[in-house]
Structure 1
Amino acid sequence: MASSSQSKSHPAAASDPEPLSQTSGNSLPASPRVLVAICTYQEAENIEAILAALRDALPHADLLVVDDSSPDGTSDLVRQRQAEDSKLLLNQRTDERGLGSAIVSAMQHATEQGYEFFINLDADFSHDPQALPAMLTLAVEDPQIDVVIGSRYVKGGNIIGWPLRRRVISKLLNTFATTCLGLPVSDCSGSMRCYRVSRLQQISLATLQCTGYAVLEELLVRIQRSGGKMAELPITFTERERGQSKLSLGEAIRSVKFLLKLAWQLRIRRQEV
């Protein structure tokens, strides 16, 4: 990639980390060191199956569940699985809420513990864990790439289970956001991503402004402004079959307001973000 304002679209295709709630385990493979995080609230119907699928897709990765004290027992199910998976970590949060702050807390763990790559995806099978090896391979093989985005909107990407109206609205909002923020990607709101941790260490995670869903766009802005480069791989996004979506109308409105504020900072005030 010639500059930090460009992205690529691709066809589909040290010591142990300090545990959060796991006190023993096997040593990690020498390289690469990978942390896969899923952020959960009320995902008891999906958590056991998604953890099994993640372990199958990336056998040597550490898995981290960030759970906002789900009343349905999500954390309890994770603890049960820890007895048979020494690389499964749990952060059960009691004082914080929200997808944005959950993702950032997982990223901070990755930077503090010396991982090389950080992967995030949804816990409800909207994202297929079998797509992760290709994303990780691309990041490992091309050291210029700082984040690989699982994209619904590049050639080969797809969405299953959404009515046409929702597809159109989502596409329009993505186009609006990428244009306003000057992002060189097709899908700026999807959370299935593989980040190079050395880049995350350069973008001041503690000063991110958004604690909600729009942190996904804010992260890309920070990465781009720090000189980072992005790539997209096509994925198929499938509407969840079990459990309820956590994206409320209120959160969607807050996200749009934040993106407008961020665009104002970038385009008009030239304020550091």
Structure 2
Amino acid sequence: MKALVVIPTYNEIESLPTALDRVREHAPEADILVVDDGSPDGTGDYADTRAHEDSHIHVLHRSEKNGLGPAYLAGFSWALAAGYELIVEMDADGSHRAEDLALLIQRAEMADEPDLVIGSRWVSGGATEGWDAKRVALSKVGNLYINAMLGLRVKDATAGFRVFRASILRRMDLGKVEALGYGFQVNMTKLVDEIGGRIVEMPITFLEREAGQSKLSGGIFTEELSLVTRWGVAKRSGQLLDAAKLAGNRLRAARNKRRRATAGYRQQRPTGSSRQKRS
């Protein structure tokens, strides 16, 4: 199947060369789309140079740096318009191993046709390198909270290394995506689940960034927590409303049944008085 690896960038001049080399080595049949948000360090110019040298590499320039979510959505739109069947999300910083990329694509191509393949740190066989115990615990607890609030059955809903089938992206209302930062991954997982998409997880090894500066911030985690909480409350409110409607419908049905039974009984009762004649 025709696959496109979407790599968002902002000031990744130190990391992007290695990332492109590794993808081309381990997944040579896949194309690459670098989505650059106007990096002042020359990342976009470097991507253009590589695109001129290699027909498998493409570049989408965006003038506005407004978050990971909008960058990926722009990449998805580009991929769908170009006719790709599989669209991969992958970081530029080396945290996602290109060795795992080929396995994720192979899993997406299998006969059971998963709509979303998540490269998971927390399924059996998954791992992280360079993380302390506190960071591991925070991620696992965060995923437990996400599953509890949203009713998902995914061990790593926050994972950013994943493969979408183009068909599921076309079925989704991408206008409903609210998250700008790393909450985007949870947002997309939620939307796939809501329309009955098939989600599978594959173990990967997540590495610490090799070069450059992390884009993670406290605001990103705050956004994710607040969105998940709001979505969860809305989901439960909807469930309570549905339950109340169902109970009301059953109560009305029972009342109507009793009324019909009472009306039938009244119609069958004899009316007036009858006297027997004496002989």
Question: 1:225 matched to which residue of 2?
Answer: 194
Matched, 1:241 2:210: yes
What is the identity, as a one-letter code, of the residue corresponding to 2:227? F
* Structure 2 alignment gaps of length 5 or more: 242-279
RMSD: 1.4
Task: Give me the whole-angstrom Cα distance separating, in 2, the residues matched to 1:241 and 1:50.
Answer: 10
Contact 1:108 1:205 (8 Å CA) reproduced: no
Tell me how far 1:96 sits from its aligned partner.
4.3
Please give the alpha-carbon distance, in whole angstroms, between the structure 2 residues aligned to 1:219 and 1:135: 18
Residue 36 of structure 1 contacts residue 62 of structure 1 at CA under 8 Å; is this kept in 2?
yes
1:262 alignment counterpart: 231
How far apart are the structure 2 equivalents of 1:112 and 1:225? 24
1:81 aligns with 2:50: yes
Does structure 1 residue 103 correspond to structure 2 residue 72? Answer: yes
Residue 150 (1) aligns with residue 116 (2): no
For 1:266 and 1:206, locate their aligned partners in 2 and report how far apart those are by CA, in whole Å: 19
Cα distance in structure 1, aligned partners of 2:173 and 2:65: 19
Shift in Å, 1:142: 2.8
TM-score by length of 2: 0.83
The one of 150, 156, 159 equivalent to 1:187 is 156
1:118-171 deviation digits (Å, cap 9, x = unpaired): 011111110101111111111111343111100000011111111111111111
Number of aligned positions between the proteins: 240
Name whichever structure is richer in helix by fraction: 2
Amino acid at match of 1:207: K
> Among 106, 109, 112, which residue is 1:137 paired with?
106
Q: Tell me, yes or no, if the aligned pair for 1:148 and 1:232 is still in contact at 8 Å.
A: yes
**Larger Cα-atom Rg:** 2
8 Å CA contact 2:179–2:187 kept in 1: the answer is yes
Deviation per CA, 1:93-138: give whole Å up to 9, x if none: 1134210111111112222222110011111110101111111111
Gaps of 5+ in 1: 1-31
CA–CA separation in structure 2 for the residues paired with 1:203 and 1:37: 18
Structure 1: distance between partners of 2:111 and 2:93: 29
Identical aligned residues as a percent = 37
The residue number in structure 2 matching 1:17 is: none
Q: Which amino acid aligns with 1:179?
A: A
For residues 83 and 68 of structure 1, the distance between their equivalents in structure 2, rounded to whole angstroms, comes to: 19
